Structure 1
Amino acid sequence: MSDMEVQITDSQEPEVPAIFKKADCTVTLKFEDVVFRIKKQKGGFLGTRKNSITEERMILKGVTGVVSPGEMLAMLGPSGSGKTTLLTALGGRLGGHLGGTITYNGEPFSNSMKRNTGFVTQDDVLYPHLTVIETLVFTALLRLPNSLSREEKVMHAEAVITQLGLTCCKNSIIGGPLLRGVSGGERKRVSIGQEMLINPSLLFLDEPTSGLDSTTAQQIVSTLWELAEGGRTVVMTIHQPSSRLYYMFHKVLLLSEGNPLYFGNGVEALDYFSSIGYTNSVAMNPSDFLLDLANGVSSDNSEEDKLAVKQDLISAYKSKLADKLKAELNETSNQLSDGTRHKQFGRWCTTWGQQFSVLLHRGLKERRHESFSGMKIGQVLVVAFLSGLLWWQSSDHLQDQIGLLFFYSGFWGFFSLFQAIFTFPQERMMLTKERSSGMYRLSSYFMARSVGDLPMELVLPTIFVIITYWMGGLKSTLWNFLETLSVLLLSVMVTQGMGLAIGALVMNLKSATTLGSVIVLTFLLASGYYVQHVPAFIAWIKFISVSHYTYKLLLESQFKTKETYRCGTNTTCLIGDFPAIKMVGLDQTAISIVSLFLMLIGYRVIAYISLMRIGVPRWRC
């Protein structure tokens, strides 16, 4: 991947290829009587389903419209009016109780149409430590087909940067809440650029101007207007656009509690509402006036009349616009272009190996700042030296050395578990976004994530053992050292897998950390160090305890049954008879190793299966 880095940093500014100036094919989007319902459980004893009542709520109530190539449709409405739900349905990402008809050039949503569709979510889900060019290049390497060489994919990313006006910040990091990076408008353009890489004919955007100042919002919408001029069909939700933005929209859809109140040309909206008796008495932003109407507020009505205003607007829409709109839908040409109808796409854009390589490279670039942060390294070093001083040259004190080995098991059990628990909950939004785009297989992501974490997971325990092993006075032979280190590293990988499984199962940081703490503490208590005479009815816990097998193998790496220790002034005793060792035993080494390897595989299988329910791909190349 080093060649790619050279191309990213040293490539010249390319001329924007024609492919980005004009869409490959055109798409006419039609939706007729779109209805969406959700079912909610209400009541029940202590939140259970027993004696609960199932309520059905209608989110969309018969929405109709048509958007042609070269047009930009803006969906307006107050919060909760159903804008995002409708956008998600039109983008082919909404399941459940969806009714009505949605067609693309007269056809239902298909694999070919998925390949020609871009979807920009409201939240910009981007990696904060990657630069703008790195973000787009990695996306290009994953989303563009293998018919293009790697150099051509990089050139496509450069072309998108030029087209979206991101050249000045191409080498700046994205940034985040606690990390200074590019501006909000530039972040939004990066998100749009990720979808523009596939040169979509149909582009959906959810609140692209949310949280931006008026000037930046103007730049974003101007960019989208230019994309529409290239023959693309652009559909967006927008909450409260300025007057300048409003008059850039070719068509406007006004929603109120899931009901359509207006669909048509934006410049004709005020004339329509004036014709049914609703006129703005003062000069104001057209979108503000439309939102007031959607909320049931007119210039001369009271609070009690809001419901009546809404009902009047809904009735007016049905009597004056609905039939006219359906006639327009019937007249619209639905001929599917040859490029969309006949072009076939494979199941995935890239091979498994390419996905693994790109994801591994991207993960190492993004997480190197966090994995090898000064705080984590300092934490391990401080604990290592403190432990070495506390157990300084304790070779003559058998109980102390046993305590040091148990501390190895306990400390790294907690440390590696909690490092891993945060992995998937923190990446859930990114995983959902990218899997919904069909960027890669879940298996390639999972393997790249697991392999990418190994340096952090293995380097710090190795440093810890190197420091504490010699300071603590453990056996000085190379074999004993390597055996101790190997056992600890195996234990670390097992507890890492446990953390991945817990995080993937729960997907809530607070709940996951609580569950992880309970499990690790239970395993530590049952490991044989704190309680040597465990009651039979609960002794089974040790057989599933990572800490038990780790502690047992660490003891076996230092002590043998026939070795002796000084148990009195002039007497020696067998190490195998020492109470703390006898309870755990120094035999069945193979069983302990096999058990840890089974856990190593088992926990990761659980994590993988748990991730399969997140972000199931809905479109692919």
Structure 2
Amino acid sequence: MTSCEERDILNGITGAVNPGEVLAFMGPSGSGKTTLLNLLGGRLIQSAVGGSITYNDQPYSKFLKSRIGFVTQDDVLFPHLTVKETLTYAARLRLPKVLTRQQKEKRAVDVIYELGLERCQDTMIGGSFVRGVSGGERKRVCIGNEIIINPSLLFLDEPTSGLDSTTALRTIQTLQDIAEVGKTVITTIHQPSSRLFHKFDKLILLGKGSLLYFGKASEAIVYFSSIGCSPLIAMNPAEFLLDLANGNLTDTSVPSELEDKVQMENSETETGNGKPPPAVVHEQYLVEAYESRVADTEKKKLMAPLPLDEELKSKVSSSKRQWGASWWQQYCILFCRGIKERKHDYFSWLRITQVLSTAIILGLLWWQSDSKTIRGRQDQAGLLFFIAVFWGFFPVFTAIFTFPQERAMLGKERAADMYRLSAYFLARTTSDLPLDLILPVLFLLVVYFMAGLRLSASHFFLSMLTVFLCIVAAQGLGLAIGATLMDLKRATTLASVTVMTFMLAGGYFVKKVPVFISWIRYMSFNYHTYKLLLKVQYQDIMPTVNGIKTDSGLKEVGALVAMIFGYRFLAYLSLRKMQLHCEA
């Protein structure tokens, strides 16, 4: 066994930011910017790291979590919701219970105008396959999702990533506007333009987890000049600072003592004597310079934390979650949001065409089939088995994508304590049911009458109920596989093998299954659905059809109901165990 080596990712970081200020974390890739931001924002599990995090000398708590906004680097949004719908649902879930629905919705509208999103408020967010708002507007919607709770502290991870310079400048100006009303804003930034750089009030420059500078952003160049490091040509200050942090000394003047050390290490590295590379020597010099010149002064400023009154102190130390809505309200909100988001996919022309064209082909192949003769009933049994297979296969491969695709959204929203996992799970799995019923009804309306199956209302509705039980059971299997594996390739492979096995054991291809493997048949929703469909059509004609006995049907219904709840329970347990950024 190989032992895990412990490494210090961050070392000796000191800094402070006050309400009304924007602090930027800057540094090359791998310098620890995002790790530091996640630690401060409570997005990393405390037990996984050494040390402690306090706010005004108070430990991180559930109450503090409700006063902190965190905007991730990736824009995690539902593509089919409009800007207004996105912010309204966030307001209804996150704002305190004491506010009415009208007050929460008004807050969403206020944020839309505050962020300048009024022109696109009725436009869908959009995504890879859906045309929607621009990149800058998406980022402002993400910021709106967080400032809607009026946080005291706002963290942002690379808010200008992927934006053009003008849009990035507008985004940083938005952060300044937020800070000016008394909020504290902390953001990571990779390589800002000079205009962006001068928008920041304070700067923390990191190099491989060490602090190279903390202070006013406008004084950073002056400080580095004071230790002998200054640009030789006119250049973007941010570019110069990143060159320093990377150990790139091109177009940079350095003090003679550092230049001598670098040249010495260059020659010794070439001889292969195990000495540290020049970049490490350069970083050590910058860290030592900061420690000897600035660090002590800055640390003394932070020794006396701001006092808190006793009432606020008790709230801050509270470990109780501040839910914005009751469990039932959370369920209802998430149910409505789920239907609005997914109705576009369910009723896409591609899916409707797929279902209806299959139904028409089946209707033509079994056109007015004969149920009075044994041969005709055998032919109809083939149709009924195909219906059981089709409505077992289709929902499994639709449901597989549910949780893997929504994992990022679930992680983000649960990290912000927007809702309970149980409310999300129940809303997510029940909001599909009304949508799942419409296409099978259309399918059966075409197939049933074209194929000449039993023409009575009771037979039709019992067939519909049987198909619906099959769909919900198959959907449960897809949810369980997707939630357990959380990987689409592996989940699709496992589902393919499982569905194929269930189909083969479904009672049509093999009449007599060997005893040692017969248990597979009873796990197959295809088998139970097939038996029920045969019972609905032929029980009053003959007790055995195509080698299958049509008994009371209670065992089959019981088995499908057990699958409906059993698979979903397994999916829920898998989500509970999933490593999110918060407690499940």
Shorter-chain TM-score above 0.5: yes
Aligned residues: 554
Question: What SS class does the counterpart of residue 64 from structure 1 fall into?
Answer: coil
Quick check: 321-330 or 374-383, which moved more? Answer: 321-330
For residues 472 and 175 of structure 2, the distance between their equivalents in structure 1, rounded to whole angstroms, comes to 47
For residues 229 and 279 of structure 2, the distance between their equivalents in structure 1, rounded to whole angstroms, comes to 13
Alignment of 1:115-130 (within 5 A): 115-130=66-81
Alignment of 1:2-21 (within 5 A): none
For residues 147 and 132 of structure 2, the distance between their equivalents in structure 1, rounded to whole angstroms, comes to 22
1:286-334 per-residue CA deviation (whole Å, 9 max, x = no partner) reads 111111111111136788632221222222233333322222211x442
Question: 1:249 maps to what in 2?
Answer: 200
Matching residue within 350, 354, 363 for 1:375: 350
Query: TM-score scaled to structure 2, two decimals?
Result: 0.91
1:235-285 per-residue CA deviation (whole Å, 9 max, x = no partner) reads 110001111111221211111121211111112211222222211111111
Question: 1:325 maps to what in 2?
Answer: 298
Higher strand share: 1
Matched, 1:175 2:121: no
Alignment of 1:424-503 (within 5 A): 424-503=403-482
Question: 2:518 maps to what in 1?
Answer: 539
Question: 1:4 maps to what in 2?
Answer: none
Question: 1:389 maps to what in 2?
Answer: 364
Change over 3 Å in CA distance of 1:97–1:316 after alignment to 2:
farther
Matching residue within 337, 355, 363 for 1:362: 337
Q: Is the 8 A contact 2:62 2:321 kept in 1?
A: no
Quick check: 154-163 or 405-414, which moved more? Answer: 154-163
Q: Is the 8 A contact 1:360 1:451 kept in 2?
A: yes
Change over 3 Å in CA distance of 1:527–1:386 after alignment to 2:
same
Question: 2:115 maps to what in 1?
Answer: 164
Matching residue within 311, 318, 334 for 2:306: 334
Q: Is the 8 A contact 2:123 2:133 kept in 1?
A: yes
Change over 3 Å in CA distance of 1:282–1:340 after alignment to 2:
farther
For residues 313 and 207 of structure 1, the distance between their equivalents in structure 2, rounded to whole angstroms, comes to 25
Matched, 1:555 2:534: yes
1:466-489 per-residue CA deviation (whole Å, 9 max, x = no partner) reads 211122222223322222221111
Question: 1:33 maps to what in 2?
Answer: none
For residues 507 and 131 of structure 2, the distance between their equivalents in structure 1, rounded to whole angstroms, comes to 49
In structure 1, runs of 5+ residues without a counterpart are 1-50, 565-574
Alignment of 1:80-229 (within 5 A): 80-95=30-45, 96-229=47-180
Alignment of 1:233-382 (within 5 A): 233-299=184-250, 305-330=278-303, 332-336=304-308, 340-341=312-313, 343=315, 347-382=322-357
Question: What SS class does the counterpart of residue 204 from structure 2 fall into?
Answer: strand
Question: What SS class does the counterpart of residue 50 from structure 2 fall into?
Answer: strand
For residues 148 and 477 of structure 1, the distance between their equivalents in structure 2, rounded to whole angstroms, comes to 53
Shift of 1:342: 5.1
Q: Is the 8 A contact 1:106 1:336 kept in 2?
A: no
Shift of 1:382: 0.0
Question: What SS class does the counterpart of residue 56 from structure 1 fall into?
Answer: coil
Shift of 1:497: 1.0
For residues 348 and 390 of structure 1, the distance between their equivalents in structure 2, rounded to whole angstroms, comes to 56
Q: Is the 8 A contact 2:66 2:322 kept in 1?
A: no
For residues 86 and 433 of structure 1, the distance between their equivalents in structure 2, rounded to whole angstroms, comes to 18
Question: 2:273 maps to what in 1?
Answer: none
Question: 2:20 maps to what in 1?
Answer: 70
In structure 2, runs of 5+ residues without a counterpart are 253-261, 267-276
Question: What SS class does the counterpart of residue 127 from structure 1 fall into?
Answer: coil
Question: What SS class does the counterpart of residue 191 from structure 1 fall into?
Answer: helix
Q: Is the 8 A contact 2:62 2:322 kept in 1?
A: no
Matched, 1:603 2:567: yes
For residues 618 and 540 of structure 1, the distance between their equivalents in structure 2, rounded to whole angstroms, comes to 40
Q: Is the 8 A contact 1:431 1:614 kept in 2?
A: no
Question: 2:269 maps to what in 1?
Answer: none
Question: What SS class does the counterpart of residue 100 from structure 1 fall into?
Answer: coil
Shift of 1:548: 1.3
Matched, 1:511 2:490: yes
Matched, 1:403 2:382: yes
1:555-606 per-residue CA deviation (whole Å, 9 max, x = no partner) reads 111223x736xxxxxxxxxx62x6x32xx32225211111111111101111
Question: What SS class does the counterpart of residue 173 from structure 1 fall into?
Answer: coil
For residues 618 and 424 of structure 1, the distance between their equivalents in structure 2, rounded to whole angstroms, comes to 17
For residues 305 and 202 of structure 2, the distance between their equivalents in structure 1, rounded to whole angstroms, comes to 18
Q: Is the 8 A contact 1:72 1:235 kept in 2?
A: yes
Question: What SS class does the counterpart of residue 55 from structure 1 fall into?
Answer: coil
Q: Is the 8 A contact 1:73 1:249 kept in 2?
A: yes
Q: Is the 8 A contact 1:71 1:228 kept in 2?
A: yes
Change over 3 Å in CA distance of 1:500–1:537 after alignment to 2:
same
Shift of 1:618: 4.5
Which letter does structure 1 place at the counterpart of 2:302?
L
Question: What SS class does the counterpart of residue 411 from structure 1 fall into?
Answer: helix
Change over 3 Å in CA distance of 1:432–1:94 after alignment to 2:
same
Which letter does structure 2 place at the counterpart of 1:308?
V
For residues 324 and 60 of structure 2, the distance between their equivalents in structure 1, rounded to whole angstroms, comes to 19
For residues 543 and 211 of structure 1, the distance between their equivalents in structure 2, rounded to whole angstroms, comes to 53
Q: Is the 8 A contact 2:84 2:121 kept in 1?
A: yes
Change over 3 Å in CA distance of 1:102–1:177 after alignment to 2:
same
For residues 467 and 131 of structure 2, the distance between their equivalents in structure 1, rounded to whole angstroms, comes to 38
Matched, 1:60 2:10: yes
Which letter does structure 2 place at the counterpart of 1:316?
A
Question: What SS class does the counterpart of residue 203 from structure 1 fall into?
Answer: strand
Change over 3 Å in CA distance of 1:183–1:249 after alignment to 2:
same
Shift of 1:101: 4.1
Question: What SS class does the counterpart of residue 237 from structure 1 fall into?
Answer: strand
For residues 121 and 513 of structure 2, the distance between their equivalents in structure 1, rounded to whole angstroms, comes to 62
Which letter does structure 2 place at the counterpart of 1:537?
F
Let me know the Cα RMSD of the aligned residues. Answer: 2.1
For residues 361 and 480 of structure 2, the distance between their equivalents in structure 1, rounded to whole angstroms, comes to 32
Q: Is the 8 A contact 1:438 1:617 kept in 2?
A: no
Shift of 1:338: 6.5
Question: What SS class does the counterpart of residue 453 from structure 2 fall into?
Answer: coil
Quick check: 393-402 or 511-520, which moved more? Answer: 393-402
Which letter does structure 2 place at the counterpart of 1:335?
P
Query: TM-score scaled to structure 1, two decimals?
Result: 0.85
1:112-146 per-residue CA deviation (whole Å, 9 max, x = no partner) reads 32121111111111111211111111111111112
